[in-house]
Amino acid sequence: MVWNWQQPDWPAFAYDSARLAPLEARLLHESGLLFGAFVHLDDAERRALTVELIGDEALMTARIEGEYLDRDSLQSSLLREFGLAQDPRRVAPAEAGMAEMMVDLYRQFQAPVTHDLLCAWHLMLMAGRRDLRDVGGYRTLEEPMQVVSGAVYAPRVHFEAPPAQRVPAEMDRFVAWLERSAPTGASPLPILTRAGIAHLWFVTIHPFEDGNGRMARAMAEKVLAQGLGKPTLIALSHTIERHKKAYYGALERANKFNRIDDWLDYFSHTVLDALAYTRARVVFLIGKAKLYDRLRGQLNARQEKVLARLLRAGPEGFVGGLSAEKYIAIARTSRATATRDLQDLVAKEALVRTGERKHTRYAVVVATDQARDMPLPISS
């Protein structure tokens, strides 16, 4: 197999910029809507949502690689990094290092990408690792760096990166391109185009012994933030993790040629989906606050408990919807009381009812910033 970096045109990536132009325009429009939605949050809500979104991204970018971080430890580390809380609990190095890198990405998004920055990120990300030879530096192992699946006796090589001796020169070229293609560089590129190329190019070089996927996604988010002029909090890893096979499939197809229209199309749509999800989270939080304000003093303790449980699920919703049986289980009450409570919540327009008899389900109604109701299914 001849890989993209072995082609004579490497790394002269070719693509149709006209095909991407409508997606670039959508990014600017929809990011404006997202930033506009943030204006409706107060400082406390904005801080809480920032920590929540960064925490989710950290969890998901690790999960894509099969690593499962502890949510509470990660959240504690993020709060400490932002100076919002002092938690005496000990936090494992993996969670502490991931939090440090993600906060650095958020705070220093405008800083140029340098070798020192990348190595510092790797040192944070690999905190506590004792099984690697090269931590905080580019890989030096002579063995081929391969992405492999299947049985040991019949492995399938999905990709092989350039040999270690080529990495320093490859990274010099990559870092120089990032500087030239930046918004203030000599040859600026559109935002999605630059972020998509940066992600693919970095993953192709695979400059570190481990952590390349996580760093490539952080790189993409940094490039997006530089293009938009502020931290985006776009749920990129969250969106990728939900459709992980499509992500790896797109990368595998892209690592054989340097014509990358399909990769940039996939990447751009993924970013736009992530942007829409992030905006839905912000709008949901605004609507949640409005709903609580409208219902203040009107609900009994059972209704408050169930509503809080439903709203914790966020805009993605509650799998299967809320039924009378689930209400009984959450509120720990009788069927007759549950029926009265649910009817009252519908009358107060806190819930909307669909279906009949055993198929009856209830969804929470959250008012959007456009002053219309947006019924959201509820997930557990």
Tell me the HSE value of 220 on the side-chain side, using a 13 A CA sphere.
Answer: 28
Type of residue at 159:
F
- pLDDT of amino acid 87: 65
Q: How far is the C-alpha of 364 from the C-alpha of 315, rounded, in Å? A: 10
Say what the pTM is. 0.85
Per-residue pLDDT of the chain (380 residues; tens, 9 = 90+): 799 999 999 999 999 999 999 999 999 999 999 888 888 888 888 888 899 899 999 999 999 999 999 998 998 999 999 988 776 667 889 999 999 999 999 999 999 999 999 999 999 999 989 999 999 999 999 988 988 877 777 778 899 999 999 999 999 999 999 999 999 999 999 999 999 999 999 999 999 999 999 999 999 999 999 999 999 889 999 999 999 999 999 999 999 999 999 999 999 999 999 999 998 888 888 888 889 989 999 999 999 999 998 888 777 777 778 999 999 999 999 999 999 999 999 999 999 999 998 889 998 888 654 433 334 333 32
Q: How far is the C-alpha of 125 from the C-alpha of 135, rounded, in Å? A: 9
Check if the beta carbon of residue 61 is closer than 8 Å to that of residue 214.
yes
| pLDDT tens per residue across span 261-318 | 999 999 999 999 999 999 888 888 888 888 998 999 999 999 999 999 888 877 777 7
Enter the DSSP assignment of 112: P
**Whether the bond into 315 is cis, omega within 30 of 0:** no
Exposed e or buried b for every residue in 340-376, given b needs 16+ CB within 10 A?
Answer: ebbeebeeeebbeeeeeeeeebbbbbbbeeeeeebeb
Q: How far is the C-alpha of 8 from the C-alpha of 113, rounded, in Å? A: 27
Q: How far is the C-alpha of 258 from the C-alpha of 264, rounded, in Å? A: 12
Domains of the chain: 4-281 (1.10.3290.10), 297-376 (1.10.10.10)
- pLDDT of amino acid 370: 44
Q: How far is the C-alpha of 142 from the C-alpha of 122, rounded, in Å? A: 20
Give DSSP secondary structure letters for 125-151: HTTT--S-S-SSS-----S--EEEES-
Mean pLDDT, rounded, of the chain: 91
| pLDDT tens per residue across span 161-182 | 999 999 999 999 999 999 999 9
Check if the beta carbon of residue 16 is closer than 8 Å to that of residue 270.
no
Enter the DSSP assignment of 260: -
- pLDDT of amino acid 254: 96
- pLDDT of amino acid 271: 97
